[in-house]
Structure 1
């Protein structure tokens, strides 16, 4: 082979290598975003691993409608999310769109300047204005709650009908109902103390003992104390549940899967969590008829509230993101009624989006709680100091573990005094 021929082949190969290199740079740019027509990848960060399948489907459809945007979902366990979300969001490398819990996490993120102001976005009008105030500060909308959860026990409605039981309207009637269940060999309340603890159940237990919705703000300011009657009575009510056997033995060692199994197989009548577990219960036993029931811890004439609601899974845009326009497009897509309906029906969640079409029987049968019952926002989320929240919850666990209510209240109040705002 001549030197001239070899030189010509080498030249062709060099040109091919240059062209190949240019093509590689173009593909890389398409992934990271850049010039017009190129694909921008955004991160969607949240804690609900149980929603991954439906979000995968929604993201696929979103990407079809928005071919210039791709969505990478980053899911973390809820406890890890509470502990590390702020650091990750401040770095800006993840969570262009992210979800926030109400209460202490929302306040912490807001004070750190993590939330982009969404007040002027048209898609805000897709949400029920009465249900999104928890994402507002000084009249500005920083986050949009997506889920409407009822944080009160789920109960086996079919079992109640078989035993001739009605939903109790007072603390006396609640105890009579529990006694009837025990007489029939049924544990009244399955309590998942090992992982969820009293986080949800405390809300309906305190709602009428302290009907003042500013009670925890007053606790943080020093105007109220945990050693006052409203909280000591709440601890006494928890003690009564444990001493009378209304919750299962070793409640503090029972995880949520075991507690759900107790309700699914008819061993227990109520699950001390909330509406977000109804879909899982029906997955374990499709024949269950379910509804919601909040213990009324006072006499009927003194009751102010019938249940608990929480607008949560608060959608937000990271102020540190370089892809805010694309992030807003994704939230806008999630707030469309047909997309929200898909999410609601496949996850068993009520939502804050207007015009959602609920198809599942469980959602249809409990939708009356949205408009027809007097519920209050979850009190626990109004404890904006994380250390105080831990102290409040620990006092319940300590009582369930055998400590006297006043002693548990005094120990918790010491922590409140150390962390008072």
Structure 2
């Protein structure tokens, strides 16, 4: 906003915070005093989401310089085929890695599935639990990139969707590799519910747990990662003995690291609002490499631009080629299977499921109960 006012010193931008925003958005954008700009999360579970999206402008029609976006990232701005929001940062599942710890053990961030297993085996031998995270979300995140990428590679998405939507007998076998991998990781000590159950929440306590210094890989998201820098001073252990860390994707099931992208809530223009033309100019101003990188850097998430910003903590993921990145919102199958897939991984980690047949059966039973 300060940069904007250097060009337009007499045009103010006012920000209003709304409680229960996901419940209120459709009312806000359809009301008599609608704002010019609203925050819109393409993947968000808004009340009357389609109604809200209908009242947002198509940003492809206002002259944005979308050439600054990295290949494929623009898809994270689209809902129902319309570019509804100017996304400026990326929400990605992955892992925060204690790179100092790995270096001290003569290890490197694994780039292949074979390297991943070798690194984890070494960490276990040294007395570490390689992958940690709050029990509420660690198991849903640990294979999310690999699972989403596998689904995205299927040529016939409609047939795959029908397979799960019709609860086809044996459909759980589609995830045999993922379930077998989780069973194997539990058996080998790569992951432990005894450890994860002690982490009290998916955000601040997860971060402070990581800053204790003995977590090689924290299963997390870039949105959670954005809160780490400001919490370094809250950790006595990290303050006394700081270490380097970065955000990566690990090839838990895939042969190489892959990414499942979603956008951080972007800026949307409300159609027919009082100062709609000024809102269009504001977004045209923001849609350039410098401003997009600046917003992502301040928030602490990966940028959407081709250069990926200058945050060295995201070097590993920004360097991945476009063909290794997919937009989860573009594949309805992912949302359809997410609850049952995550539930099965959680039960494996907790010891409630101990064989592949039970895992596949559980997936199918939960799918029948919870599918969208």
Residue 414 of structure 1, CA deviation: 0.8
Q: Find the partner of 1:369 among 287, 295, 319.
A: 319
Question: CA deviation digits over 1:283-334, x for unaligned, max 9?
Answer: 5245314251313415xxxx3x522141402332123634322332332333
1:382 to 320, 331, 336: 331
When normalised by structure 2's length, the TM-score is 0.76
In structure 1, distance between residues paired with 2:337 and 2:25: 20
- How far the C-alpha of 1:355 sits from its partner, in A, is 6.3
Aligned to 1:46: none
Counterparts in 2 of 1:141 and 1:252: CA distance versus 1, 3 Å: same
SS at 1:168's partner residue? coil
Gaps of 5+ in 1: 1-58
In structure 2, the residue matched to 1:290 is 246
**1:352 maps to which of 293, 297, 304:** 304
Alignment-derived partner of residue 145 in structure 2: 204
Correspondence for 1:414: 368
Larger radius of gyration: 1
In 1, the alpha carbon distance for the partners of 2:143 and 2:90 equals: 18
Judging changes above 3 Å, is the alpha-carbon distance between structure 1 residues 68 and 103 closer, same or farther for their aligned structure 2 residues?
closer
Change (3 A) 1:213 1:104: farther
Question: Do the aligned residues in 1 keep the contact of 2:41 with 2:263 (CA within 8 Å)?
Answer: yes
Q: How many residues align?
A: 348
Contact 1:278 1:362 survives alignment (8 Å): no
Q: 1:315 aligns with which of 242, 267, 271?
A: 267
122, 128, 137: which one pairs with 1:180?
A: 122
1:92, 1:318 within 8 Å by CA — same for their partners in 2? no
Structure 2: 5+ residue stretches without partners: 233-237, 354-358
Aligned ranges 1:48-197 → 2 under 5 Å: 59-63=1-5, 65-74=8-17, 81-82=21-22, 84-91=24-31, 93=33, 96-103=36-43, 105=45, 109-110=49-50, 113-125=54-66, 127-128=68-69, 130=71, 131-136=73-78, 140-194=82-136, 196-197=137-138
Deviations 1:163-182 (A, max 9, x none): 12234355454333222212
Change (3 A) 1:384 1:81: farther
Higher relative CO (Cα under 8 Å, sequence separation at least 6) belongs to 2
Structure 2 counterpart of 1:21: none
CA RMSD of aligned residues (A): 3.7
Question: Which residue matches 1:16?
Answer: none
Name the SS for the 1:165 alignment partner.
Answer: coil
1-side partners of 2:141 and 2:18: how far apart? 22
Could you give the per-residue CA deviations for residues 332-363 of structure 1, whole angstroms, max 9, x where no partner exists? 333233322322332222222456752x4324
Q: Classify 1:83/1:343 alpha carbon distance in 2 versus 1 (closer, same or farther; 3 Å).
A: same
Aligned to 2:278: 326
Find the aligned partners of 1:311 and 1:169 in 2 and give their Cα distance: 22
Matches within 5 A, 1:231-242: 231-242=175-186
Structure 2 CA distance for aligned equivalents of residues 145 and 232 of structure 1: 35
Secondary structure, counterpart of 1:153 in structure 2: strand
Give the C-alpha shift of residue 402 in structure 1. Answer: 3.4
Give the superposition deviation at 1:238.
2.7
Given that 1:152 and 1:292 are in contact with CA atoms closer than 8 Å, whether structure 2 keeps it comes out as yes
CA contact (8 A) 1:213 1:379 kept: no
Which 10-residue stretch deviates more, 103-112 or 324-333?
103-112
Whether the 8 Å contact between 2:96 and 2:245 is mirrored in structure 1 is no
1:182–1:262 Cα change, 3 Å: farther
Three-state SS of the structure 2 residue aligned to 1:145 is coil
Shift of 1:74: 1.9
Mean alpha-carbon deviation: is it higher for 130-139 or for 211-220? 211-220
- Residue number in structure 2 paired with 1:306: 257
| TM-score with structure 1 setting the length | 0.68
1:380-415 per-residue CA deviation (whole Å, 9 max, x = no partner) reads 773479675444433333433333312321222213
Q: Distance in 2 between matches of 1:139 and 1:66?
A: 36
Counterpart Cα distance in 2 of 1:326 and 1:199:
42
Partner of 1:399: 348
SS at match of 1:144: coil
Does structure 2 conserve the Cα–Cα contact (< 8 Å) formed by 1:155 and 1:293? Answer: no
Deviation at 1:214, TM superposition (A): 6.2
Aligned CA distance change for structure 1 residues 227 and 252 (closer, same or farther; 3 Å): farther
